[in-house]
A = this chain, B = another copy of it.
C-alpha cells in the first residue's frame, strides 16, 4: 500500500483479489531451502517472487514467526521489507491483537513500526477504545475479527444481542469506527450465510476472507457473497494450498501455478456474479 493512502482507497484501485498467507512451518519447508542461512526467509522470498504477479496482498500470521523462537520476528521483519522492495502488494500482519492503554500502543509500535505492516488484524472484544493506537493510524489498515472461520466460532459470535447475533453487532460498530476509511472486517469463507449478512449490513467495508481451501470454504460462494457493489472490496486468502503446492525443487513454480489458479478461479466467480446481477 502506498503510505498515506487509506485502506478503502487501496481497495478501490485493486485488480487482483488474492491474498497469499505466509504461514511457514519449518517441517514443511522444501529441501531446497533447508540449508539456507534463514530457511524461512529464503522460502518466503521465493514464494513472493513466484506469486507476486497474482497477489494483491500477503498475510503473514505472527503466530508462525513467534513459534520459530526469538529469531522469528527478525525473519518476519526482513520478509516484509523484501515484499515492500519487490512489489506493491499490501502486507497484512495477521496478529488478532487487542490490549489496553500502554500495551495496545506498544503492539502498534511493534507491528506497524518495528515490523512495518501496512495492515493488521485485530480482536474486537475489548472495544474501540482499546484499539485506538491502531485506528488512529489513517495510513494503515485495521481488519477487525467479525465472524471467524473456525468450527467453534459461533460460541460467542452467534449469541443473540437484542435479536441479532453478536458478529452482526460487531460489524455495525466497526462501520462507525471507520471515520478514517482504514477499517475492514474478517469474515470466514466457511460461513457463507454470515458473510452475506455482513455484506448486507456493511456495503462499503473491505472484507478479508480466510477459510477457502484446507478449511473447506467455497471460493465461489465467498466471492459471490462478499463482493461489494463495485465488484471488489474483498481479499480472498489462501495459505497452505499455495505455500505447499510442492515440496520438490520446483516448489516456487508450483506455488506460482497454484496462485494463478486461485486468482483465475476468483476472477471467474467475479465475472459470474456480474452476469447474475
Are B145 and A125 closer than 8 Å at their CB atoms? Answer: yes
CB-contact partner of A114 in B23, B69, B169, under 8 A: B69
Against B, the Cβ 8 Å flags (1 = close, 0 = not) of A68-81 are 01111110010000
Q: How far is the CA of A46 from the CA of B72 in the complex (A)?
A: 27
Against B, the Cβ 8 Å flags (1 = close, 0 = not) of A11-33 are 00000000000010100000000
Chain A: how many interface residues by the 8 Å CB criterion?
58
> How many copies of the chain does the oligomer comprise?
2
A101-B215, A215-B101 known; A77+B67 contact, CB < 8 A: no
Residue of B nearest to A154 (CB): B127
A204 to chain B, nearest CB (A): 21
A73-B70, A73-B72, A148-B130 known; A63+B153 contact, CB < 8 A: no
Q: How far is the CA of A114 from the CA of B70 in the complex (A)?
A: 8
Are B67 and A114 closer than 8 Å at their CB atoms? Answer: yes
Are B73 and A25 closer than 8 Å at their CB atoms? Answer: no
Residues of B within 8 A of A128 (CB): 152, 155
A189 at the interface (CB under 8 A from B): no
A106-B66, A160-B161 known; A125+B123 contact, CB < 8 A: yes
Are A64 and B103 closer than 8 Å at their CB atoms? Answer: yes
